Chain A
Amino acid sequence: MEVQLQRSYLEYSKALFREGVLDAQFVELQMLRDESNPDFVMEVVTLFFEDSQRILNQLSNTLNEQSVDFKKVDANVHQLKGSSSSIGALRVRNACIAFRSFCDAQNVEGCLRFLQQIKQEYLLVKNKLEALLRLEQQIVAAGGVVPVLNDFS
C-alpha cells in the first residue's frame, strides 16, 4: 500500500518540478528533515504560508491606497520573493520578479493586475504543497518511508 502511495508521491512531485511550481530548494528542505525533527518541512511550509499571506495582504493594502507608496510595494514584493525562494516556490518567485517592472514603472493598474497573478501562483503552490504533504503523512501512517525527492527526475 505504501508503495503505491510512494509512487504517487514521487509522480506528484515530479510533476511539480516539471511545471516549475517547486524547485531544487524544496529538495534541500526535505533533506533537512531528520529524526529529531520529522515535521520540519511541514513547519517550514506552514511558516511560509502565514508569512506570504501577510505580505500579500500588505501588498493589497498598499496598492489600494490613495497615493501608492511604491517603495513599500517594492519592499513587500522583495520580501515575498525572498520567502518564496526559501521553500522553492519558483513560480511565485518569478512572478515577483516580473512584478517589479510594474512597480518600477509606478503603474498602479499594472501592479494590481499583476498582484492577482501572484496571488494565483501562491494559491497554486499552496494547494500543491498541501497535497504533497498529505501524501507524505499517508505514507508515514502506512508505515512507509517518504521517498527522497529528486527534482531532476
Chain B
Amino acid sequence: MDSCGFSSPRTECFPAGLRVLVVDDDPTWLKILEKMLKKCNYEVTTCNLAREALDLLRERKDGFDIVISDVNMPDMDGFKLLEHVGLEMDLPVIMMSVDGETSRVMKGVQHGACDYLLKPIRMKELRNIWQHVFRKRIHEVRDIEGHESLDEMMLRSGADLLDDGFFFGGDPVPGKKRKDVDHRSDDRVGGDPSSLKKARVVWTVELHQKFVKAVNLIGFEKVGPKKILDLMGVPWLTRENVASHLQKYRLYLSRLQKENELRTTLGGTMHSDLSPKDAAAGPGNASLQTLATKSSKQNISVHHDDPRNCEGIAKASPTPMAEAKAAEISDLAKSSTSSISFDRPFVQSSDAKSEPTIQVQYSWSAGAPPLQFKPEQKPQARAPPVGFKQEQKPPLRFKKEQHQKPLFVAEHRFDHTPVAMHHRTDNKTSDKPSPAATDPPYSKAKRGQPSKATKVESTAALFCIQPESPFTDCHTIDPIPSSIWSTKTSQSFEQNLYDEPWHINALLGTGSALACDYTSPYPPNPYLGTIDPFCFNGQELITEVTSLKFPLDPVIDEGLYIA
C-alpha cells in the first residue's frame, strides 16, 4: 500500500491513506467496497453492523476520517447512525443505498450526510470521497475566528506543509497571515488535512457548558475564542478548538432561529409538524433530525449519546436548533408538561425534563411561550415573553416573528426565566428599554434569577427575541407568563427582564430570532445545563442587547449572542 503511515500525518500522500470505515450489512457489497477503496489507496475498515461501527468509532475516537454507511441495516437505521456519528464524532458520513428516491436522499442530507451514493457504486465515485474530509477541515479552520489559527496551524504543521508545499489548496482562507506560505501557487492539492487537522475535541456536555458559560460571561458581542478559552480554563483546549466550536454554536443558534420561524409558521401548534418528526427520532434522535438539517453546517459533534442529544445537537448548527425549537415549541404547546421539549435534540429537555441543562422546560404546552417572545420585539409590557401563555399559543406568535431565535438560550435554565420572559413582556414594567434596543425582553432573563420554575419562561424569553419582528407577539406572552413561568415570578420577571440584557438575545444571538421558543433543544441543555446561561449580568447584556436589538433581527445579526 502506500507508504503513508496511517496514523501519522499523511502530509505527503493525502488523500492516500484516508481512513475509511464502511458499514453495510450486505456482505457482497462490503467486500466490493473494501476492494474498491483499497484500490484508491485508502485505509479501509469494514463493519457489517451499525452498532459495531459505532462502538468502533467510539473506541478509536480519532481513528477514522470518514464513514460510509448503507441506509438499510437490520440493527439500526442508517440515518440514526448518521446522526450519531455526526454528533459524537463530527466525521463526514456518506450514505449509500440501492434506493434513490428523492425523499430518501433528502432525508439523508437532512440528517447530515455529506453525500448520498446510489448502488451500484462505481469506483470513480469512491475515489473522490476525500474531498468531504478535506472540505470539512478547511471549514473548520476557516471558521476559526481570527485567522491566527491558520497561522498557528501553519506554524504547527508548517514545516511539513511548507516543505511539501501543501496547505489548504489555495483557499482564500484566512491565510492572509500565512507566513511564508505562499505556496498557494504551489500544489493546490491542499495541504494534508491531517496536519491541518486540529486535535479532534470531544465537546462533552460539561465542556460545552463551560463554553457557553464563558460566552455568556463575556457577552456575545464581545466574544472571541481567546477570551472564551481563557475563561473556560481548560488547559488542553486550544484556541482553534474554541473558535471552531464557536462557529458551530453560532450556526446552531441561527438554525434554531429558523426553526422557530418555522414553528411559528406552523401556527400555534407548531410543533405538530415538527414534533412528530422529532418524536420519531426519539429522544435525542429528534434532535438529530434537526441536527441533520444542520448537516449543511458544520456538524457539531454532540457527544451525547443519550437522549440528551440536545446538547449535542445544540451544537450542531444553529439551524437545527431552529427546527428543533420549532418542534419544541410545538411540543410545548402540546404537551402540557412544563418541560419544554424543545426539539428533540434538545428534547432532552423535554425528556430530561428536569435535565439540568435544558431548563427549557417551558410548559409550552401552554402556549409555547417561547413563541411569544418572538413576536414581540418589544418586550414591553408584554407579559413575560415567555409567553407561556399557554393560552395564547405562543407558537403563533412566532409566526409573526420571522425569526425565532434559537431559543437555546432559553433553555438553559429557565429557571430564571421568569425574568426572561417578562422581559419581553415587559409590557408591564416598562423596563423594556425600547424593544428595539437591545433589550431583548429576555435579557432579563436573568438567568441568575431562579425563576421559579419558570424555566420555561426564561426560555421563552429567550426566544422571544425575535429579531425584527416586534415582539408584539411576545407581548401576548403576557398572559402566559404567569402561567407559564412559574407564574409567580412574573412580576419579578418583568422587573428583571429589563434589568439584564436579555442574555437570550445573546444566546440567540445567532441572529436568528431569539425565538422565545426556546424549543430549540439545542443550547438550552448543553449550555444551560450547569451553566447559568444567562449569566449575563444584566448590565453586560443590556449593552449587548442593545446591539442585539432584542427580538430584532439585528440581534441575530449581531452575531451569536451566546448566552
Identify the A interface with B (CB < 8 A): 25, 28-29, 31-32, 34, 37, 40, 43-44, 47-48, 50-51, 75, 78-79, 81-83, 85-88
Contacts and interface: CB of A to CB of B under 8 A. Distances in A.
29 contacts: A25-B120, A28-B122, A29-B32, A32-B32, A32-B39, A32-B123, A34-B39, A37-B35, A43-B31, A44-B32, A47-B27, A48-B28, A51-B26, A51-B27, A78-B72, A79-B25, A79-B26, A79-B72, A82-B26, A82-B29, A82-B70, A82-B72, A82-B119, A85-B119, A85-B120, A86-B26, A86-B28, A86-B119, A88-B120
Closest 5 CB pairs of A and B: A82-B98, A25-B120, A86-B28, A85-B120, A47-B28
A105 to B, nearest CB: 18
A12 B359 CA distance: 70
A51 B98 CA distance: 16
Given A82-B119, A85-B119, 12 more contacts: A32-B123, A34-B39, A43-B31, A44-B28, A48-B28, A50-B27, A51-B28, A82-B26, A82-B70, A82-B72, A83-B28, A85-B98
Nearest to A81: B98
Interface of B: 25-29, 31-32, 35-36, 39, 70, 72, 97-99, 119-120, 122-123
Nearest to B119: A85
Nearest to A88: B120
Contacts of B29: 82-83, 86
Contacts of B28: 44, 47-48, 51, 83, 86-87
B31 A44 contact: yes
A37 B35 CA distance: 10
Contacts of A37: 35
B35 A28 contact: no
A47 to B, nearest CB: 5
Nearest to B27: A47
A134 B402 CA distance: 68
Contacts of B120: 25, 28, 85-86, 88
Contacts of B26: 51, 79, 82-83, 86
B39 to A, nearest CB: 7
A81 B71 CA distance: 13
A58 to B, nearest CB: 11
A90 to B, nearest CB: 10
Nearest to A32: B35
Nearest to B72: A78
A117 to B, nearest CB: 19
B225 to A, nearest CB: 45
For B32, B72, B99, the residue with the greatest tally of chain A CB atoms inside 10 Å of its CB is B32
B32 to A, nearest CB: 6
Contacts of B72: 75, 78-79, 82
Contacts of A40: 35
Contacts of A85: 98, 119-120
For A31, A48, A86, the residue with the greatest tally of chain B CB atoms inside 10 Å of its CB is A86
A48 B32 CA distance: 11
A37 B123 CA distance: 17
A81 B120 CA distance: 10
A51 B28 CA distance: 8
A75 B98 CA distance: 12
Contacts of A48: 28
Contacts of B25: 79
A78 B119 CA distance: 12
For B26, B27, B99, B120, the residue with the greatest tally of chain A CB atoms inside 10 Å of its CB is B120
B266 to A, nearest CB: 30
A25 B35 CA distance: 14
Contacts of A88: 120
A78 B99 contact: yes
A28 B123 contact: yes
A82 B29 CA distance: 8
A17 B119 CA distance: 19
Nearest to B25: A79
Contacts of B31: 43-44, 47
Given A28-B123, A32-B123, A86 B99 contact: no
A21 B35 CA distance: 24
A48 B120 CA distance: 14
A68 B4 CA distance: 53
Contacts of B98: 78, 81-82, 85
For B27, B36, B123, the residue with the greatest tally of chain A CB atoms inside 10 Å of its CB is B27
A31 B40 CA distance: 13
A29 B28 CA distance: 11
Contacts of B119: 82, 85-86
A25 B28 CA distance: 13
Given A82-B26, A86-B29, A32 B36 contact: yes
Nearest to A55: B26
B37 to A, nearest CB: 11
Contacts of A75: 72
A44 B372 CA distance: 60
Contacts of B97: 82
Contacts of B99: 78
Contacts of B35: 32, 37, 40
Nearest to A79: B26
Contacts of B122: 28
B120 to A, nearest CB: 4
A31 B31 CA distance: 14
A43 B28 CA distance: 9
Contacts of B27: 47, 50-51
A83 B230 CA distance: 54
A14 to B, nearest CB: 20
Contacts of A32: 32, 35-36, 39, 123
